[in-house]
Structure 1
Amino acid sequence: MTATPDILCIGSVLWDVIGRSASAMRQGSDVPGRITRLPGGVAMNIAMTLARFDLTPALLTAIGRDAEGDELIAACAARGMITDTIYRSDDLPTDIYMAVEGANGLIAAIADAHSLEAAGSKILAALSDGRLATAEAPYRGLVALDGNLTLNLLGDIARSPLLAQADLRVAPASPGKAERLAPFLQAGRGTLYVNLEEAGLLCQTRFDSSRAAAEGLLKRGAARVLVTDGGADATEGRPDGLMTLTPPQVLVTRVTGAGDTFMAAHIAADAGGAPAGEALSRALQAAATYVSGETAL
């Protein structure tokens, strides 16, 4: 059996190629800057932050048996992650994400997660073959799940007996994939981590505040939600009430990965037994520190 992880991170693990410039940008801009390639993807970003909080994550994802995939596996292992739960494909390439950021924020991004989508339920094999659990002894721990999976697979996970006793923490990966989280509203399962735009897409409306968004998601059937709104107030919503806090104000130098950092920091604080207010406060501080550029994933 695989070494026992503190949490499973299910979803995208790929290479992030990020171009950043100190200049404000618009469509057609051609400016100087820096281009970096780092391990990324929602599941990976969450796992890296969890590892910094001394938690051991196991990755459930798809990575190709190509040179880029071998390099990515090595990078994951070097960061303290369990990698023998990863599905390695002989015929699918390693996925990649590309983004351009300027002084005025994210300009554009393309996520090529086609291999993860094509692999489908193969990435969950470790939950039934004894590496992490079996059908007779399902996984009972923490799971961080991202919306880069297909709607069908996310629906299966929301209803799967393999994860029926797990503590599911779910993020949509991007506003364009927010509606893929609908099965968790319908099933009333999991903790959803969304921003204001994603909450509106899930509820098919627009919200003016994180508090209104949290109320809307709870009415739609969510079991628990955390709604962020950039530098504005963030809200945690449960059936027994709402809690809203204001994040620290910082100079924003990067945005890619901020939501993943918030989610991971909240999970770590929550798992460590922090009261709800303290867990939300720690998550907001971690995200603020990240976007200010003071720490790196």
Structure 2
Amino acid sequence: MRAAPARGTTQAMTRAPDILCIGSVLWDVIGRTASTMRPGADVPGRITRLPGGVALNIAITLARFGLRPALLSAVGRDAEGDDLVTECARLGLETGYLYRSEDLPTDRYMAIEDTGGLVAAIADAHSLEAAGSKILRPLSDGTLGNAQTPYDGPVALDGNLTESLLAEIAGHPGFAAADLRIAPASPGKAERLLPFLRAGRGTLYVNLEEAGLLCQTAFDDAQTAAQALVARGAARVLVTNGGKLCAEASRTETLSACPPEVLVTRVTGAGDTFMAAHIAAERAGAGRAQALDRALAAAAAHVSGEIAS
């Protein structure tokens, strides 16, 4: 597999990024309808193509808060990949650390949403999985750090990476000094975060269903779920539950808050917006309760459509 540096690398790397966003960087193809859909339904609506992927969604929101995120991911050297890199740069994201391969196509995510939210989705992130640890080279070759001088800034990490790579990161010397913030990407990938529970590393951002999968049980509320995750080894965790009470727990404290009531117009990317807003609030000096409130407000604005895609 041959790879070349991302275009514009020299100019883009003149200033260190504020945060690294590691994981899926792809095109979101989203179909939305004002109708209620059933299996086999064929309804009118709108179809859009937007930059997406968990790591990219987080990075875009972080840039809106004035931070300079860098992307570590795999993007093909196809036309879709060139378009995606150009759009990411336009949005203020650092693309010079991307792994770009001649042999891997740019990943895609396809979803359908109706008035009730997400109907179905398919994530084609095979190129990210195939690239594996190659996307982490800047953290070991001295570009961003190495085993002797590890990167010591914040890292937003998503569960679209393979189980083996996530397990490697949990104990990787290149992440020893990093402030790890981790999201599972989807309920189907929640159990990929188990190495971080075992290692007691990082801050986990999960929803109620994902918390249940990690604990192998079902929870009725976010506060109980957050406390259970800490009991299983998590250093710190935030558990969301749609429009219901959200909770944060650590080994010393648990707090909770309710999100603002809004009209839901979309759901894709809400969790990513919540995580990014929380990280940005804490980097700006907000306390735990204030950071949680800001994150919930940002996620509510996203699902209501107040923040443009």
TM-score tier by shorter-chain length is over 0.9
Asked whether 1:203 is paired with 2:222, we answer: no
Match of 1:235 among 247, 261, 281: 247
Alignment gaps of 5+ in structure 2: 1-9
Match of 2:136 among 109, 121, 124: 124
1:225 aligned counterpart, secondary structure: strand
What is the rounded CA distance, in whole Å, between the counterparts of 1:129 and 1:65 in structure 2?
Answer: 22
State the match for 1:280 in structure 2: 292
Asked whether 1:223 is paired with 2:238, we answer: no
Asked whether 1:99 is paired with 2:111, we answer: yes
Asked whether 1:147 is paired with 2:174, we answer: no
Give the C-alpha shift of residue 27 in structure 1: 1.2
Q: Any idea what the Cα deviations from partners look like across 1:9-66, whole Å, max 9, x if unmatched?
A: 0000000000000111121111100000000000000000000000000000000010
Which residue identity is paired with 1:35? I
1:198 aligned counterpart, secondary structure: helix
Deviating beyond 4 angstroms after TM superposition, the runs of 4 or more aligned structure 1 residues are none
State the match for 2:56 in structure 1: 44
Q: Any idea what the Cα deviations from partners look like across 1:111-157, whole Å, max 9, x if unmatched?
A: 00000000000000111122211222110000000000000000000
Normalising by structure 2, we get a TM-score of: 0.95
State the match for 1:86 in structure 2: 98
Match of 2:28 among 4, 10, 16: 16
Fraction of identical pairs, as percent: 69
State the match for 1:160 in structure 2: 172
What is the rounded CA distance, in whole Å, between the counterparts of 1:46 and 1:143 in structure 2?
Answer: 11
What is the rounded CA distance, in whole Å, between the counterparts of 1:150 and 1:232 in structure 2?
Answer: 31
Which residue identity is paired with 1:73? V
What is the rounded CA distance, in whole Å, between the counterparts of 1:189 and 1:257 in structure 2?
Answer: 24
What is the rounded CA distance, in whole Å, between the counterparts of 1:90 and 1:227 in structure 2?
Answer: 39
Match of 2:74 among 62, 65, 68: 62
What is the rounded CA distance, in whole Å, between the counterparts of 1:28 and 1:278 in structure 2?
Answer: 44
What is the rounded CA distance, in whole Å, between the counterparts of 1:177 and 1:18 in structure 2?
Answer: 21
Which residue identity is paired with 1:131? T
State the match for 1:6 in structure 2: 18
Which residue identity is paired with 1:16? D
State the match for 1:254 in structure 2: 266
Which residue identity is paired with 1:149? L
Give the C-alpha shift of residue 90 in structure 1: 1.0
Normalising by structure 1, we get a TM-score of: 0.99
State the match for 2:306 in structure 1: 294
Which residue identity is paired with 1:256? T
Alignment gaps of 5+ in structure 1: none
What is the rounded CA distance, in whole Å, between the counterparts of 1:212 and 1:238 in structure 2?
Answer: 12
1:232 aligned counterpart, secondary structure: coil
Match of 1:192 among 200, 204, 214: 204
1:19-38 alignment, distance < 5 Å: 19-38=31-50
What is the rounded CA distance, in whole Å, between the counterparts of 1:29 and 1:187 in structure 2?
Answer: 46
